[in-house]
Chain A
Amino acid sequence: MLILECPYCGVMADETDLHGGGEAHLKRFGPGSSDDEFETYLFHRKNPKGVHFERWRHVSGCGKWFHAARNTMTLEVYGTYPAQTTEPPKELVAKIKKKHPEWGGYE
């Protein structure tokens, strides 16, 4: 069972309290973008084996969206952070890097 700390409520919410929202930090390509960019935005996802940044919604709690960094292979959760950002916090990236030096980093 996946348990994430909601950064807004401060409670440990389990998977059944949450709703997954897929990959985090996508950049939208809307009107005026090329077909290739639009296709990438709509369909191309990283789907890594290892460190992954995701969006989650505390659906039966505060109802807010937040971000989580976790490992898709070991299910280890590295941390959660509020959604008002376009990239993961530097401390969190540094923490994951320290743990997994082989990890290529965010991007």
Chain B
Amino acid sequence: MSNAVSALQGASFDGYCKVEEAGLTGMIALRGDLSSAGVANAVKAVTGAAMPGQGEVTEGAKGRVGWMSPDELLLIVDHAEAPGIVEAATKSLGDAHSLVVNVSDARAVYRVKGAACREVIAKLTPADTSVMQPGMLRRTRIAQIPAAFYLEDDETAVLVCFRSVAQYAFDLLKDAAQPGGEIFK
């Protein structure tokens, strides 16, 4: 197998928040009827996480599950385990009308660490980041590209975007976290 590398191979920037590329992250898109027991069981079986409600992200032993739209979930898991999880989830869903795809290598992930992580993201997105709490996920845009973000804890925001715009997203976050750019001092 070829040597898998993440988009920016762990690039990082120290501003008034630390911005770092998260490295290899497993991501699986799962589409189906989210209200069905089959989907909930499959999600529980492969990640250990409960079904997230509207706009939520839940955590299990083997990964996180984010609510992306009324019929789509994002499973955030270990990169090496992702293909196996896709297989297990597909098997578990059986004949149910559904789709499970490994999108790990189509995405880039960033962590923004620091007390002002909400502020740094707020500079780039129309979403109200002040209402965001750990456990909530918001799918929106940053500047000109689509992105989703959630909080791992009160001082760590995780932002997901497409790999093709990884450098653009990193440059945006770097710029927003530039020392001297603090809004609420």
Contact = CB atoms under 8 A, between A and B. Distances in A.
B126 A11 contact: no
Given A9-B69, A11-B127, A60 B55 contact: no
Nearest to A3: B126
Contacts of B54: 8-10
B140 interface: yes
A14 interface: yes
Nearest to A16: B126
A9 B126 contact: no
B69 A62 contact: yes
B68 interface: yes
Interface of B: 54-55, 68-70, 72, 126-128, 138-141, 146
Summarize A's interface: helix, strand, loop or mixed. loop
A17 B69 contact: no
A15 to B, nearest CB: 8
Nearest to B139: A61
A62 B73 CA distance: 11
Contact of B126 (A8, A10, A17, A63): A17
A12 interface: yes
A97 interface: no
Given A10-B54, A10-B55, A64 B140 contact: no
